[in-house]
Amino acid sequence: MIESIQSVFSTISTAASTLKTFRELLKGKKGDTRVFLEELKENAGLCWLVMEMDTNPMKMVNELRTGEYDRLLKTNFDFNSLKKQRISGDERIENSDLSSFLGKETTSLVENIYDRIKELKRIYRVDKDNPKVRWRVRIINLQKRILLLLWHLKK
């Protein structure tokens, strides 16, 4: 599954390259946009711990953050302001499990990312010992969406 991330997002397929891309995106950003991107960067870093360092996903689920996203929702922040264009792709994305996001607004992907984070936290809170929950797969799928957003924003 990590191989699919590397093939689709070759330029941001490691923790170091993701961090570098976030640093580039954050240059010149202020206010709500900057705070939101910082939260997203933290969540991406947590996902990389699971993917690159084999950290137990159960140890990091409660560390995932949604506070800034929730705050911005209350203020009617326009997540499309992160990037006005719809999500476009190339052949690698068109042939992946992320293809459903192509042609959608930035807001749609941001909402999906945070819905997944909240779902992970809810499952952990209510039924963390359920053997049917594939925590690592869920973290990888979350990270793929974060990387798609990052890829979209830097284009």
- pLDDT one-digit tens code per residue, 10-64: 667 788 889 999 999 999 899 999 999 999 999 999 999 999 999 999 999 999 9
Range of the domain at 64: 2-154
Structure-model confidence comparison of residues 53 and 95, the more confident one: 53
Instruction: Give the chain's domain count.
Output: 1
Global pTM?
0.92
**Region 140-153 average pLDDT:** 95
Tens-digit pLDDT profile for residues 98-146: 999 999 999 999 999 999 999 999 999 999 999 999 999 999 999 999 9
What DSSP letter does each residue of the chain carry, written as one string?
A: -HHHHHHH-GGG-SHHHHHHHHHHHHTT--HHHHHHHHHHHHHHHHHHHHHHH---HHHHGGG---HHHHHHHHTT--GGGG--SPP---HHHHTSTTGGGTT--HHHHHHHHHHHHHHHHHHHHHHTT-TT--HHHHHHHHHHHHHHHHHHHH-
Widest pairwise Cα distance in the chain: 45
